[in-house]
């Protein structure tokens, strides 16, 4: 199991990014959460197998159809034993 902290910058708020991320995370069996940040970016904590998280990060570089991704920053994090994937407000 791996834990990644992901920050996605670009046009990622107001385009359904959090909802699409949750749907995609569930498809890849990723646990964690997604939330908007005050600077207009999106923050995700994702846990799963190395392969699952890798596929999810690949999706993060594309996002939903209306998103425009400028950068994706990824850092390793400590496992938090998330049980599901939620949208944090």
Active-site annotation holder among 18, 22, 29, 35: 18
Active-site annotation holder among 36, 66, 83, 86: 36
Sequence-separated (6 or more) residues with CB below 8 Å from residue 20:
63, 64
Asked if 36 is an active-site residue, the reply is yes
Compute the chain's Rg from CA coordinates: 12
Pick from 2, 21, 12: which is nearest to 88 by CA? 21
Residues designated catalytic: 18, 36
């Amino acid at each position: 199991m791996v834990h990644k902290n992901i920050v996605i910058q670009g046009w990622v708020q107001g385009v359904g990014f959090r909802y699409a991320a949750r749907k995609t995370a569930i498809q890849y069996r990723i646990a964690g959460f997604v939330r908007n940040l005050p600077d207009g970016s999106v923050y995700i904590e994702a846990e799963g197998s190395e392969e699952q998280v890798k596929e999810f990060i690949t999706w993060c570089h594309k996002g939903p159809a209306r998103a425009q991704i400028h950068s994706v920053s990824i850092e390793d994090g400590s496992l938090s034993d998330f049980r599901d994937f939620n949208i944090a407000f």
